[in-house]
């Protein structure tokens, strides 16, 4: 082979994980610019729902369970984010809600200024929770994408009568 066709070994940040996170960043950014933040979030939400259904089935199959309990749901949510390099943890949990914190986004710095990417978390969490517990309303109180430095995700487990005070996206058992 001709030496002119060879490229020297270069120190480039080009590997599969970084490439795919950058791809998702550009895809979400393009959607946000072309069709708007709400519509981009909607498209990403659909993908998140499909991911949530698949992940939920994997966990239930691995645990040999038809349904997860509320404690198991929160453990699954934390575990799945850990597996994809997030740093989620349970802040609080009772029969009304699960509150999760996070110090490290699985998308890394690629999530900065891309709030539509947070719909992946909302949809995956909402789908898994609703499929096991019947209902979820996911509120993204703080997000790294919006510059908060950390995430705070509140998953309400019961429907509220006072919708004016409530924020978030509702998910129902599929």
pLDDT tens readout for residues 135-167: 999 999 999 999 999 999 999 999 976 654 568
Q: Average pLDDT in the 128-133 region?
A: 98
Residue 89 has pLDDT above 90, yes or no: yes
Question: Which two tokens mark 97?
Answer: 């809600």
> pLDDT tens across 29-86, in order?
999 999 999 999 999 999 999 999 999 999 999 999 999 999 999 999 999 999 999 9
Q: Average pLDDT in the 81-105 region?
A: 97
DSSP symbols for 48-70: HHHHHHHHHHHHHHHTT-SS--H
Residues in the chain: 174
Higher pLDDT pick, 7 / 96: 96
pTM given for the model: 0.91
- Residues 6+ positions from 154 with CB-CB distance below 8 Å: 97, 98, 99, 100, 138, 139, 141, 168
Would you state the pLDDT for residue 164? 47
Domain architecture of the chain: domains with CATH:
13-172 (3.30.1380.20)
Q: How confident is the model at residue 4 (pLDDT cuts 50, 70, 90)?
A: confident
Three-state DSSP class for 161? coil
Would you state the pLDDT for residue 2? 59
**Alpha helix positions (H), 1-98:** 16-35, 37-62, 70-83
Q: How confident is the model at residue 1 (pLDDT cuts 50, 70, 90)?
A: low
Would you state the pLDDT for residue 163? 58
């Amino acid at each position: 082979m001709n030496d002119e066709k060879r490229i020297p070994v270069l120190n480039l940040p080009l590997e599969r994980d970084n490439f795919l996170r950058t791809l998702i960043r550009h895809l979400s950014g393009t959607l946000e610019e072309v069709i708007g933040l709400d519509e981009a979030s909607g498209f990403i939400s659909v993908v998140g729902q499909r991911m949530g259904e698949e992940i939920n089935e994997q966990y239930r199959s691995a645990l040999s369970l038809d349904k997860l309990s509320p404690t198991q749901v929160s453990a699954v949510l934390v575990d799945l984010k850990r597996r994809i390099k997030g740093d989620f943890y349970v802040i609080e949990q009772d029969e009304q809600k699960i509150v999760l914190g996070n110090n490290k986004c699985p998308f890394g710095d690629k999530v900065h200024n891309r709030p539509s990417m947070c719909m992946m978390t909302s949809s995956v969490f909402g789908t898994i929770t609703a499929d096991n517990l019947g209902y979820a309303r996911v509120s993204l109180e703080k997000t790294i994408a919006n510059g908060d430095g950390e995430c705070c995700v509140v998953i309400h487990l019961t429907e509220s009568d006072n919708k004016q005070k409530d924020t978030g996206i509702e998910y129902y058992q599929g």
